[in-house]
A and B are shown apart, each in its own frame.
Chain A
C-alpha cells in the first residue's frame, strides 16, 4: 500500500520534471530555431542562399495549441514570435505533445531516427502545408544537423599539397579520389595506414602467406576519371524533338531523332503527368521500370535501394530477371544439392585455406576469375593465385578460350567445343565408375541415386552408349587420352573444382543445356566427396579467412528501400534501420529475355526464378498479370540491353512500337538505349553524390561475397565533386518526380541522400566502432580478421562429416529442409541426389532436363543445320576490362587497352578473336576490319588472330556499351561491337528463363564498307 502511494508520488514528480524539461528543451532548441538558422547563414553563403529560396512563415506547435512559435523566412533572414498564429502560417509542424517534440529533436541530434520514424508512423508528427514549402522547411531542419559536413565540407583527408583525399567505391574495388579545386585529379587503389588491421595469414606446406596491406583495383575502377568527365555525359534534361506528350509521339523515330534541352521543371512535370495519365487511363501495370543487373557502387544508390522505393511508391510493373551469371547452376545444379538462396551456388567458407593446405590439384572449368574478378572483387584473388603458383599445386583449365587465368597460372589448357562440357564430364565419371576411383564411402552415406546416373554413363540403360573418353572425343574435340589422364589424376588426387569464376557462374552455364554442365560439376565433386579436406569447390577466389560475423550490409540488402520483399532488406536492414515500409502493390512482371515479345506481342510466359525454394522455379510468370494493363510507359533506369541481352536488335523493334507511348531513360551517358528515350533524365555518377558501401559486398544471393577479398573494407562514399552540368543524383531525380506526385515523404521520409547514408551507417556494427564524423574524415575502416582459432569451418565440411550445419549462413529457409532442420541438404532426401527428386516429380520425361544429368547436343552447334552456313562457334563471356558495359566506350581510357578495343582508322573497334588457321582459310589478317554475321545480325569488329582460341571457335567479350548502327537501327550492321546482336534468344532449356548466348554460330568476312556518322568512342 505504502509502496503504491510512494510510487504514484514518484511517478507524478517524475512526470512533472519531464514536462518541465521538455518544455524548456523545446523553448531552448526548436523555438530558437530562427536564431540558429541566422547563425548558420552567417557561416555559409551557400546556406544563406538556400534560406532565400522561400518567403514563408512556419508554425511550430503542439497539437493542443498550448506551445507554439511562428518562424518567418524573409529573403534569407529568419525571425520568430511565440504563440499560435495558424492564419499566418504557410506550413505547420505539429507535434503530439511537448515530450514528443523533445524526443524527436533529441533523436535527430543524436542520430536516433527511430524516434522520428515512430512519431511519423504513429501519427504524432505532422507537416502540413503545400508540398514544396513543407519539404523545403523539413530539409532545412535536417541540414542543420549536417551543417558541418554539407556546408563546411568537413570530410575527407587533407593532403600536404592541398589536395583532398576522398573515398568511393566502384564495381572494381574501392578507391581513393584526390580532388583539387573541385576537380578529380586522380583515382587510386587504397594503401592502408599503419594503424589499420593486420592481415590474416595462411600456412601451407611449410610456407606462410599473408596479403599486402592494400586493396587491388581493375581497369574499370582506375578509368573512372575519364568516365566522370566523358564527353558523352548527359548534362541536361532532354526531350526527343518529335515526341509531343500532347500530340504526335513518333515512336518509329526512337533511336533516330534528335533531342532538345528542357528544364528540370519541365522534365519532372512531363514525367509525373505521364505517370498519372498512363496509370489513370490504363490501370495497374501500365508503367514499367527496368534496371540493369548492376549499378554504380553504393548501398544507397544501388537499384535495390532508391529505385525500389521510388517505383514501389508510384506502382509499376517490374522486370523479371533471369539469373544470368548463375544460369546453369540456378536451373540445373540446385536440384542435386539444394541451395536456392545462392541460386545453386556453393558455400565459400575457408576454402582458400583448405585448398592451399590440402588440395593436390585445382581444375578451373569455365572459370576465369582473372577476367571476371569473381564479381566485384577487383584483383584480390590474383594475390592468392600467385601463392598457388609458388606452392606448385598442378592446375588444369577447361575453357574454349585460353583465358587470362590460364595464361597467368599456367597448367594444361583443355578446350572443348562450346556447349559440349557435359560430355567431357560424363566421360570423367565413366572412368571413375569403371576404375572405382571415387569416394564410395561418401557416395554411400551422403548421396542417393548414383546407380541411376551410372546406368546412363555406362550405357546400361536404353541409351546403350557408354560415355567413355573415346565417346566424347568427336563431340568435344578433346583427345580421349587427355580426358582419361585428367579423370585418372582427379580420381587419385584431392581436387578443388572451380566451376565458374566465383565459382558457380561460368560461361559454360550460358550455353544450350548449360544446366547439364553445372549439374555435372556438382555430381563429379559429389563422387569425390566435397567437403572433405582438399576436395571442394573454388579457385582461390572466394572463401578467405576474414571475419564473417561483423555485420555490414551489401547492396542486395536493400539500402533505404524499406522493401522487405523485393530486396534482402527483411533479413537484417529493415529491423536495424528504422524506416517506413515500402512495397510494390503491382505484381506484374515482364521477363527480361522476352521483354521485346511481351511489349510487341502483348504476352509472355516464362519460369520464375525463386530465391526462396528450389521448386519455386517450376512456377510460371505470365504477362500481362490478371487485372493488369499492358505496358504503356517504360521508365528505364540503367542497364543496356542492346549490349548485354541475346539477339539484342529485338530491343530496337520494341522501342519503336506505338504501344509504348512514353519512354523515359534515367541515364548518365548518351549511349546505347539512352538514344531510344523520349525524355532523358541526366543522372550523376557516384563520385558526385553521397553513398556508403563495402568492398565486393553485395549480400543477398551472394551472401558474404566480401570473402573474395583479402580485407574487409567498409567505406564512406564521399561526394567528391559537384554534379556535372545539371545532372542530379538518382535519388534527387526520383525525389523530383515524387514531389510532383505528392510522394515526397513517402519516397524519402523527407531525408536527403546524405541523411540516409548516415542512417544506414548508424544501423550497422560500424556505429560502435567509430563515430560517423571520424568515419567521414578517414573514409574507411578495415575490419580486423578473427584469430586463427575462430576461423569459419570449411564449406560443406559439416555435410561431409554428417553433422549439423555449422557454417555461418542463415539460408536456406527452414521449410526447405524436408528432414530435420539444418541437418543435411535442402533436397527431399537431405542427401546429394544424383537423380534429382525435384526434377523427377516435376517432369521425369523432360528430355531437355532429365532427373539425371545427361549430355544433350546443342541446337546451335556443329551438328545443327546452321553449321552449313556459319562455321565458327562463338563464345562471348563476361568482359575483362569493362564491367559489362561500364567503362566501355564513352571515350574512356579503357578504349586504349589494346586487348579491349583496337584503334584502326581512327576508331576503337571491338575485338573478335579467331585462330590463325581460320583466318587463313578466310584470307583474313591481324587487325583487319571484319564483319561478323549470321541470320540475326551483323557486327563490325577488329580481328585478333590468336592461338588463344582453337580452330573452329571464336571469342569476343559481351557487353559493348554503345549501340552504333551504320544505317537504320535494327536493320543495319553495328560498328561498336554489340556482339549480342548475333546471339540466340532461345532459352537454356525449355522450362527455364535462362539465356544460352554461348551457343552461337557466326561467319566472318572482311569489311570494306563505310561507317556513317559515328566518331570514335
Chain B
C-alpha cells in the first residue's frame, strides 16, 4: 500500500504562516467527523511554525521550524492510548474524537507536544493531515496547498520509493527519530547546527579594506574540515557545525600578508567574530 510522507524544507520556508492560516480556515467552525471535531479558534495550533535565529547582527540567520503531528509509524500516543489512536495504512495517525473527549492525558502522550487541548469542546486534538480531504478528491492537505514554495510537501508512494527519497534528499527527523515519524525535514541544519562568521581586513594606507578572496581553512584537532575563500566583503561563514562540536582552529591567508589564525569553541550557539586584520609580511 502506498504511504504518505510529509517533507518540511527549512530552506524554502519564507515564514508566511499560510500553513497555520489554512489549517485554521479548514478546521475552525468546520466539523470533519469522524476524522476530527472543529478546532478552537485561538490558543490551539495543529501546525506551528516557530522562528529560529542563529548568530548576531549583521550575521543574523533565521529560519522557521514548522511542527505538526509527526504521524509516527510507532506513535507514542497510540502506545499510551491504544483505543484512542488509529494508525492508518497510509501512515496517517488519527485520534478518535469519541475517545479524546475529556482525555487530557492524550495531550501529554505526544513527545513532540503536538496534541493540544480544545478547552471549548473539552477534547484532545491534532493535525489529521486533512485526511477528510485526502480521502475525497484532494491530493494535498490544506497547509501544503497554501504553501507558496511547497516548503511543505506530501509524497504518496510505496515504502521503497519513499526510502529512496529520504536518502536522496537527506531528510531527517526533527529529533532523534524514535517513534519513526512520517514527517521529515530537509535542510534541518539551519535549525540544529551552528556557524562561525567573521570578516577579514587589511590596511591600504589609512584605509581599512575588506580582504576579499582571502583563504579560510577550518580544522578540528589537526584535521582539515573545510577550505573556502572570503566573499567580496572579506567575510566568511563556516556552517554546519553541530552543538558541542569542539574547539576549531581557523587559518586565514592573504597574498603578501602574514597569515592569521584563531580558535573558536562551538557549544550551543553560532559565533560571530570581530574583524581580524592582516598585517603585511
Q: Do A and B come from one complex?
A: yes
Smallest CB separation, B9 vs chain A (Å): 11
Question: Given contacts A219-B18, A370-B14, A484-B210, is CB(A189)–CB(B145) below 8 Å?
Answer: yes
Q: How far is the CA of A486 from the CA of B212 in the complex (A)?
A: 11
Segment from A56-64, A222-230, A343-351 that makes contact with B? A222-230
B223 at the interface (CB under 8 A from A): no
Q: Is the CB of A481 within 8 A of B16?
A: no
| Chain B residues with CB below 8 A from A915, complex form | 57
| Chain A residues with CB below 8 A from B208, complex form | 479-481
Greatest chain A CB density within 10 A among B42, B61, B199 is at B42
B207's contact among A402, A484, A899, by CB below 8 Å, is which? A484
| Chain A residues with CB below 8 A from B136, complex form | 160-161
A99 at the interface (CB under 8 A from B): no
Greatest chain B CB density within 10 A among A185, A219, A485, A948 is at A485
Smallest CB separation, A902 vs chain B (Å): 12
Question: Given contacts A895-B42, A899-B15, A1016-B42, is CB(A948)–CB(B60) below 8 Å?
Answer: yes
Q: How far is the CA of A534 from the CA of B42 in the complex (A)?
A: 48
Q: Is the CB of B234 within 8 A of A485?
A: yes
Question: Given contacts A186-B30, A948-B60, is CB(A897)–CB(B233) below 8 Å?
Answer: no
| Chain B residues with CB below 8 A from A402, complex form | 57-58, 60, 62
| Chain A residues with CB below 8 A from B145, complex form | 188-189, 191
A903 at the interface (CB under 8 A from B): yes
Chain A, residue nearest B56 (CB)? A947
A408 at the interface (CB under 8 A from B): yes
Greatest chain B CB density within 10 A among A161, A891, A896, A1016 is at A896
Contact string against A for B residues 224-250, beta-carbon threshold 8 Å, 1 for contact and 0 otherwise: 000000011111000000000000000
Smallest CB separation, B204 vs chain A (Å): 10
| Chain B residues with CB below 8 A from A716, complex form | none
Greatest chain B CB density within 10 A among A225, A229, A378 is at A225
Segment from A28-36, A277-285, A410-418 that makes contact with B? A410-418
Q: Is the CB of B58 within 8 A of A485?
A: no
Smallest CB separation, B29 vs chain A (Å): 7
| Chain B residues with CB below 8 A from A595, complex form | none
Q: How far is the CA of A480 from the CA of B14 in the complex (A)?
A: 31
Q: Give A462-490 interface residues, CB cut-off 8 Å to B.
A: 470, 479-482, 484-486, 488-489
B60's contact among A191, A218, A413, A895, by CB below 8 Å, is which? A413
Q: Is the CB of B42 within 8 A of A903?
A: yes
A537 at the interface (CB under 8 A from B): no
B172 at the interface (CB under 8 A from A): no
Q: Give B31-89 interface residues, CB cut-off 8 Å to A.
A: 41-43, 45, 50-51, 53, 55-63
Q: How far is the CA of A709 from the CA of B235 in the complex (A)?
A: 35
Q: Is the CB of A480 within 8 A of B17?
A: no
B142 at the interface (CB under 8 A from A): yes
Smallest CB separation, B178 vs chain A (Å): 28
B21 at the interface (CB under 8 A from A): yes
| Chain B residues with CB below 8 A from A187, complex form | 25
Chain A, residue nearest B17 (CB)? A897
B26 at the interface (CB under 8 A from A): yes
Q: Is the CB of B25 within 8 A of A225?
A: yes
Q: How far is the CA of A1008 from the CA of B201 in the complex (A)?
A: 47
A893 at the interface (CB under 8 A from B): yes
Chain B, residue nearest A950 (CB)? B57
Q: Is the CB of B28 within 8 A of A222?
A: no
Q: How far is the CA of A186 from the CA of B21 in the complex (A)?
A: 11
Q: How far is the CA of A947 from the CA of B137 in the complex (A)?
A: 44
| Chain B residues with CB below 8 A from A891, complex form | 41-42
Q: Is the CB of B53 within 8 A of A946?
A: yes
Q: Is the CB of B22 within 8 A of A382?
A: no
B148 at the interface (CB under 8 A from A): yes
Smallest CB separation, B177 vs chain A (Å): 27
Q: Is the CB of A947 within 8 A of B43?
A: no
Q: Is the CB of B149 within 8 A of A386?
A: yes
A379's contact among B14, B207, B275, by CB below 8 Å, is which? B14
Q: Is the CB of A226 within 8 A of B28?
A: yes
Q: Is the CB of A898 within 8 A of B50?
A: yes
Q: How far is the CA of A379 from the CA of B232 in the complex (A)?
A: 30
Q: How far is the CA of A951 from the CA of B24 in the complex (A)?
A: 36
Smallest CB separation, A25 vs chain B (Å): 48
A560 at the interface (CB under 8 A from B): no
Question: Given contacts A161-B136, A481-B208, is CB(A383)–CB(B57) below 8 Å?
Answer: no
A975 at the interface (CB under 8 A from B): no
| Chain B residues with CB below 8 A from A899, complex form | 15, 17, 51
| Chain A residues with CB below 8 A from B149, complex form | 382-383, 386
| Chain B residues with CB below 8 A from A482, complex form | 210, 233
A404 at the interface (CB under 8 A from B): yes
Q: How far is the CA of A413 from the CA of B41 in the complex (A)?
A: 37
Q: How far is the CA of A412 from the CA of B20 in the complex (A)?
A: 30
B146 at the interface (CB under 8 A from A): yes
Chain B, residue nearest A412 (CB)? B233
Contact string against B for A residues 941-958, beta-carbon threshold 8 Å, 1 for contact and 0 otherwise: 000001111110000000
| Chain B residues with CB below 8 A from A17, complex form | none
Q: How far is the CA of A881 from the CA of B18 in the complex (A)?
A: 10
Contact string against A for B residues 159-181, beta-carbon threshold 8 Å, 1 for contact and 0 otherwise: 00000000000000000000000
A109 at the interface (CB under 8 A from B): no
CB contacts between A and B, total, < 8 Å: 156
Smallest CB separation, A895 vs chain B (Å): 7
| Chain B residues with CB below 8 A from A414, complex form | 58
Q: How far is the CA of A891 from the CA of B60 in the complex (A)?
A: 33
Smallest CB separation, A848 vs chain B (Å): 31
Q: Is the CB of B148 within 8 A of A216?
A: yes
| Chain B residues with CB below 8 A from A908, complex form | 42
Q: Is the CB of B29 within 8 A of A229?
A: yes
| Chain A residues with CB below 8 A from B57, complex form | 402, 413, 415, 915, 947-951
| Chain B residues with CB below 8 A from A407, complex form | 15, 60-63
Greatest chain B CB density within 10 A among A218, A223, A481, A485 is at A481
Q: Is the CB of B14 within 8 A of A382?
A: yes
A894 at the interface (CB under 8 A from B): yes
Q: Is the CB of A218 within 8 A of B22?
A: no
Contact string against B for A residues 862-899, beta-carbon threshold 8 Å, 1 for contact and 0 otherwise: 00000000000000000001000000000101111111
Q: Is the CB of B26 within 8 A of A186?
A: yes
Q: Is the CB of B25 within 8 A of A881?
A: no
A217 at the interface (CB under 8 A from B): yes
B279 at the interface (CB under 8 A from A): no
B273 at the interface (CB under 8 A from A): no
| Chain B residues with CB below 8 A from A480, complex form | 207-208
Q: How far is the CA of A217 from the CA of B145 in the complex (A)?
A: 10
Q: How far is the CA of A895 from the CA of B12 in the complex (A)?
A: 24
A489's contact among B42, B199, B209, B232, by CB below 8 Å, is which? B232
Q: How far is the CA of A899 from the CA of B48 in the complex (A)?
A: 11
Q: Is the CB of A186 within 8 A of B148?
A: no
Question: Given contacts A222-B21, A379-B148, A898-B50, is CB(A185)–CB(B30) below 8 Å?
Answer: yes
| Chain B residues with CB below 8 A from A488, complex form | 232
Chain A, residue nearest B45 (CB)? A896
| Chain B residues with CB below 8 A from A408, complex form | 14-15
Smallest CB separation, B136 vs chain A (Å): 6
Q: Is the CB of B148 within 8 A of A222?
A: no
| Chain B residues with CB below 8 A from A946, complex form | 53
Q: How far is the CA of A1011 from the CA of B63 in the complex (A)?
A: 34
Smallest CB separation, A352 vs chain B (Å): 16
A881's contact among B17, B42, B199, B234, by CB below 8 Å, is which? B17
Smallest CB separation, A305 vs chain B (Å): 29
Q: How far is the CA of A223 from the CA of B28 in the complex (A)?
A: 11
Q: How far is the CA of A414 from the CA of B60 in the complex (A)?
A: 11
Which residues does B use to contact A, with CB under 8 Å?
12, 14-18, 20-22, 24-26, 28-30, 41-43, 45, 50-51, 53, 55-63, 136-137, 142, 145-146, 148-149, 199, 201, 207-210, 212, 231-235, 275
Nearest first, the 6 A-B pairs at minimum CB distance are A222-B21, A485-B210, A379-B148, A893-B24, A947-B60, A216-B148
Sample 12 A-B pairs with CB under 8 A, ordered by A number: A188-B146, A217-B146, A219-B18, A226-B24, A402-B58, A414-B58, A479-B208, A891-B42, A893-B41, A900-B17, A903-B43, A915-B57
